[in-house]
Structure 1
Amino acid sequence: MATCEVCGNSYEKAFTVTMEGRDHTFDCFECAIHALAPACSHCGCRVIGHGVGEAGHVFCCAACAEHEAAGAAHRH
């Protein structure tokens, strides 16, 4: 059994995600998202999906991008 690197749970159905050449082991998508998904530059929530980006910043939505005066934000 593999052990989740976030919560420490040993689970027979754990899975591995390779990101930027490094392998990460998780027991659920929740832990994978917590560890690997980018955080919104305004509210801090994890960005699941395309998000909104501008000038090197990632936002969860256009409202957060506009609040941070990101200018003409675009969807990824």
Structure 2
Amino acid sequence: MATCETCGNEYDKTFTVTRDDRTAVFDSFECAAQAMAPQCGHCGCRILGHGVEAQGQIFCCAHCARESGHPDLADRSAG
């Protein structure tokens, strides 16, 4: 059995996630997201989708990017 790196639970069905140069063991997707998903540069929520990026920062949505001084970003294009 392995131990989840987020909650400490010992579980026989853990899985490993690798992102960049970090590899970690988890017992649930919730724990994996809490530990590995990036956080929005404005509101701090975990970004589980694509998010938007501007000048090296990642945001959960265009609204948060605009609130952080990136007025040209949009969540979707017109058309």
Aligned partner letter, 2:18: T
TM-score with structure 1 length normalisation?
A: 0.89
RMSD of equivalent CA atoms:
1.4
1:11-31 deviations in Å (ceiling 9; x for gaps): 111100122233210000111
Instruction: Find the counterpart in structure 2 of residue 18 from structure 1.
Output: 18
1:20-62 deviations in Å (ceiling 9; x for gaps): 2332100001111111111000000000010011111111011
User: Does structure 1 residue 58 correspond to structure 2 residue 61?
Assistant: no
Residue ranges of structure 2 left out of the alignment (5+ in a row): none
Residue ranges of structure 1 left out of the alignment (5+ in a row): none
1:36-55 → structure 2 map (5 Å cutoff): 36-55=36-55
TM-score with structure 2 length normalisation?
A: 0.86
Aligned partner letter, 2:58: V
SS of 1:58's equivalent? strand
Quickly say closer, same or farther: Cα 1:22–1:67, change in 2 above 3 A: closer
Deviation at 1:74, TM superposition (A): 6.1
Aligned partner letter, 2:13: K
What stretches of structure 1 move > 4 A for 4+ residues in a row? none
**Aligned residues with identical type, % of pairs:** 55
Equivalent residues of 1:16, 1:26 under 8 A apart: yes
Aligned length: 75
* Cα distance between partner residues in 1 of 2:42 and 2:58: 9
